[in-house]
Chain A
């Protein structure tokens, strides 16, 4: 498989056709199993739908089937000879935005669906903005239900222009537009016979060939220590290994490294995946490293290179998406989780909230409610080792946890 794994999300407003599109991708790429098809045909008949309702393939919860909506992200898997895919089917309703954020946070690419009749809606804007906020570098805007607008190129162009003028203020380097009918399959896996005026690739062809490996940071060496391995067995009594997932750069055996926050130096003496020794480690590998000398190093600390270090910061300038029903005001205290580290934190200031349709800043209303996107300043009880999110999605992101309910209440990205 030439291209490895692609993780993508389908987003957009309610009823724009996200679940149907995924059903279509699975169906036309022959990934649906007989018993799954039987099961959705049976359910479709019960509900009086003509033919098999492909959205039932992802809307798997009882409440979703009853209401015909998507509540939580469903993950689906399929492979072609070119590539292996993990799809997150996101809900369109505003009240379930936090589930969309969940699905988008691990995606390399976002498909934004637009109903050709309705055009751009508030949720189209919100999901596009969240895509940008989460640093997803690849977007495909699928103008769907082209069958309902007579396959009109004029209507398609109108929507493309409207989207371009909105997205010019977002930082998404790669945006592609494709006119489709998810229901009938046009330009999803097979080329449409109705839209001769479109000469770009089909959706699947594009997904198979889009290049995302370059999005990983191989420059800045970052190894957050996740767990210290000390066997305490007779054979390995002196072994002390640092387990973690490489968050950036390439570590090699023999490299000089610096442990943060202590600032002590050492040398990498071995790198292992399980019991297999390897020469180097890079993102997103999970490895165990040993060092030449015993230094103070534990969960929450980070190994880096002398001449390339993250910022050590206690005052963070962050964009957050608020995920809790409980509103938030400046002064509220949280536990902040960043890489493998936790710190107490307090929100010092709400700089502005964003009007999602116009992208205008709202500066005179500082109460943050569910699904708000805001820029805030946070102070932490101890310094964090951070990079700008645009450079590193792991060392640039954090979550806020409510110390009372223990719930995750915000997703945050750091701009430094």
Chain B
């Protein structure tokens, strides 16, 4: 190998940093969508590198379902403090209280779907013209079609059948008033890339990603965290297992996997050998073949 070859992680990092700088240069009110999960933590890490030694020139936006793992909230607040950036919280509970959305009921009730109106509401209220997210093309088949600069109309809708061309790395962020872009700096990363990068860069992540003992409920072949927000069926009973999470979302829908991987190296070993995708553990994607596409069209992350 010559001196002038980049490893594939370096190449992905260079791409992500380039995309984030392009956002800062082209938009007036950009933001980073921060869920507290490993992907948005990586986006934030790339942003830190992209603008060093200056602060990240955009706020972090958290769409808060109210059904959070306490660890994620603590992690979020610590990170915001360390980075010296603004945190903007869009609260699902506020929208419910104002009667703007109705909560699902029943055993599989989740606040996943009503995150979308909350997100749209937050974008409109703060007039964000670009929202950077941690979605990756390898996560899901509708996401596999995403551009880096993904256009949203003035109802925040995605039109996957009629996406803008995107040539080379000449990103066109021009838009009409009221429209915005979702931007995906990690588009080309796989789950394994994320973990290898977290290890290489020594990035702090919430403890939930590491194996730990937890009260859980088995449902439809999934392991869900037991909490006050989960409606138990008559035949269901919480049990204690050694688990870790592969993704972190709303507490009621994020499936755990049984695991004893308590270090990054062990997690990487498990991910490399995994036979199921990380979203295979998420109830929200299982609702139908095009569950993700339908949600994305409406304005979901």
Interface residues of A, Cβ cutoff 8 Å to B: 1-2, 4-5, 33-36, 39, 43, 57-58, 60-63, 65, 71-77, 79, 84, 86, 98-99, 101-102, 105-106, 213, 216, 218, 226-227, 229-233, 235-236, 239, 241, 243-245, 250, 272-275, 282, 284-286, 288, 299, 323, 335, 337-338, 340, 393-394, 397-399, 401, 406-408, 411
* Known A72-B160, A99-B165, A232-B54; contact A406-B190, beta-carbon cutoff 8 A: no
**Chain B, range 99-157, C-beta contacts under 8 Å to A:** 137-138, 140-142, 144-145, 147
The 9 A-B pairs of least Cβ separation, nearest first, read A60-B141, A274-B49, A231-B54, A406-B174, A35-B280, A286-B17, A5-B8, A286-B14, A74-B144
Known: A235-B53, A275-B52. A406 touches B165 (CB 8 A): no
Min CB gap A359→B, angstroms: 23
Apart from A33-B277, A33-B280, A77-B137, list 19 A-B contacts with CB within 8 A: A5-B11, A35-B277, A74-B141, A75-B138, A77-B190, A98-B165, A101-B165, A213-B4, A213-B5, A218-B4, A243-B21, A273-B13, A275-B49, A286-B15, A286-B50, A323-B165, A335-B174, A393-B168, A394-B169
Which of B4, B15, B145 touches A250 (beta carbons < 8 Å)? B4
**Are B161 and A61 in contact, with the CB atoms below 8 A?**
yes
Q: Check B137 against A411 for contact (C-beta < 8 Å).
A: no
Taking Cβ atoms with an 8 Å cutoff, the residues of B that contact A are 1-2, 4-8, 10-11, 13-15, 17-18, 21-22, 24-25, 48-55, 137-138, 140-142, 144-145, 147, 160-161, 163-170, 172, 174-176, 187-188, 190, 192, 274-277, 280, 289-290, 293-294
Cβ-defined partner of B167 (8 Å) among A63, A105, A275: A105
Return the chain A residue nearest B192 by Cβ.
A79
Please give, as numbers and ranges, the residues of chain B lying within 8 Å of A4 by CB-CB distance. Answer: 5-8, 11
CA–CA, A10 to B144, complex, Å?
15
Closest to B142 in A: A60
Instruction: Specify which chain B residues have a CB less than 8 angstroms from the CB of A288 in the assembled complex.
Output: 52
Residue of B11, B176, B290 near A406 (CB, 8 A) is B176
Q: A2-B1, A232-B54 are in contact. Are A227 and B21 (CB under 8 A)?
A: yes
The residue in chain A whose Cβ has the minimal distance to the Cβ of B143 is A60
Tell me the complex Cα distance, A230–B160, Å: 38
CB distance from B19 to the nearest CB of A (A): 9
Inter-subunit contact B54/A226 (CB<8 Å): no
Q: Is the CB of A75 within 8 A of B188?
A: yes
Residues of chain B within 8 A (CB-CB) of A394 are: 168-169
Contact B11 A272 (CB under 8 A): no
CB <8 Å contact, A274 and B168: no
Q: A57: which B residues are within 8 A, CB to CB?
A: 141
Are A286 and B21 within 8 A (Cβ)?
Answer: yes
Task: Tell me which residues across on chain A come within 8 A of B6, comparing CB atoms.
Answer: 4, 284-285
A102 vs B167: C-alpha distance when bound (angstroms): 5
What is the minimal beta-carbon distance from B55 to any residue of chain A, in angstroms?
A: 7
Residues of B within 8 A of A239 (CB): 53-54
Contact A75 B137 (CB under 8 A): yes
Partner of B4, one of A75, A101, A216, A393: A216
CB distance from B280 to the nearest CB of A (A): 4
| A33 CB contact (under 8 Å) in B4, B167, B174, B275 | B275
A299 to B25, CA, bound (A): 8
11 contacts between A and B (CB under 8 A): A33-B274, A35-B280, A61-B145, A62-B290, A226-B18, A243-B21, A286-B15, A397-B167, A408-B164, A408-B165, A408-B172
- Say yes or no: A245-B14 contact (C-beta < 8 A), given A33-B274, A77-B138, A288-B52: yes
Smallest CB separation, A34 vs chain B (Å) = 5
Give the CA-CA distance A241 to B51 in the complex, in Å: 9
Interchain CA distance A11-B160 in the complex, whole Å: 20
In the bound complex, CA of A104 to CA of B172 (Å): 17
A243's partner among B50, B290, B294 (CB-CB below 8 A) is B50
- State in angstroms the CA–CA spacing of A226 and B21 once bound together: 7
Distance of A245 Cα from B11 Cα, bound (Å):
11
Question: In the complex the two chains form, what is the Cα distance from A75 to B21 in whole Å?
Answer: 23
Instruction: Give A213 to B175 CA distance when docked, in angstroms.
Output: 36
Asked if residues A84 and B172 are in contact (CB atoms below 8 Å), the reply is no
Q: How far is the CB of A63 from chain B (nearest CB, A)?
A: 6
**Which of B49, B55, B164, B280 makes the CB contact (< 8 A) with A407?**
B164
Whether the Cβ atoms of B276 and A33 lie closer than 8 Å is: yes
| Bound Cα distance A398, B1 (Å) | 32
> Beyond A76-B138, A284-B14, A337-B170, is A231–B55 a contact (Cβ under 8 Å)?
yes
Q: Which residue of A is nearest B84, CB measured?
A: A233
Which residues does chain A contribute within 8 Å of B168, judged by CB atoms?
105-106, 393-394, 397
A340 and B277 alpha carbons, distance in the complex (Å): 37
Known: A61-B293, A285-B14, A408-B164. A233 touches B54 (CB 8 A): yes
Interface-centre pick from A216, A284, A393 (highest chain B CB count, 10 A): A284
User: In the complex, which of the residues A43, A60, A74, A299 has the most CB atoms of chain B within 10 Å of its own CB atom?
Assistant: A60
Quick one: closest B residue to A235, CB to CB? B53
Query: In the complex, how many angstroms separate the beta carbon of A38 from the nearest chain B beta carbon?
Result: 9
Give the docked Cα–Cα distance between A231 and B6 (Å).
Answer: 28
